Structure 1
Amino acid sequence: MNTNIDLLIEYLPFIAPLILLQIGLAIFSAVHVVRHPHYRFGNRMMWLLVVLLIQWIGPLVYFVFGRGDEHDR
């Protein structure tokens, strides 16, 4: 009978890359929020909270809706 630990070890090769991808996306998005001066909606603190607290969807929402134009720098 599989225990929870055995099940986790069995699926770890599939879960680990997804976890690393999520962490990388969150870090990349957070750095972009801090360095980017213009936003379409909201302010810097709101976007940091969205990026860091709403996993998977937060960084994607930021890059689709929140990021301002690059030539405004």
Structure 2
Amino acid sequence: MIAPVLIIQLILLIVAIVDLVKVKETNGPKWLWALIILLVSIFGPILYFIFGRRQS
């Protein structure tokens, strides 16, 4: 029952980190977003995709 949640969390974490590395500019410093993504469990990547990405 916990395995699907862990898999989703891992996928979100990997996708968010890859996106953070590829994007040139973010809303705020990249190092801070990396910490948020890594340390705030499943909500870190979600917060990055909602607030961290700069819309062009």
TM-score by length of 1: 0.72
Aligned AA for 2:44?
A: G
- The one of 31, 52, 67 equivalent to 2:38 is 52
Deviation at residue 67 of structure 1 after TM alignment: 0.4
Q: Percentage identity across aligned positions?
A: 36
- The one of 17, 26, 34 equivalent to 2:21 is 34
Deviation at residue 54 of structure 1 after TM alignment: 0.6
- The one of 21, 27, 30 equivalent to 2:8 is 21
5+ residue gaps, structure 1: 1-13
Number of residues of Structure 1 aligned to a counterpart in Structure 2: 56
5+ residue gaps, structure 2: none
Q: CA RMSD in A?
A: 0.9
Deviations 1:7-63 (A, max 9, x none): xxxxxxx111110100010010011111111112x1111111100111011111111
Tell me the secondary structure at the aligned position of residue 2 of structure 2.
helix
TM-score by length of 2: 0.91
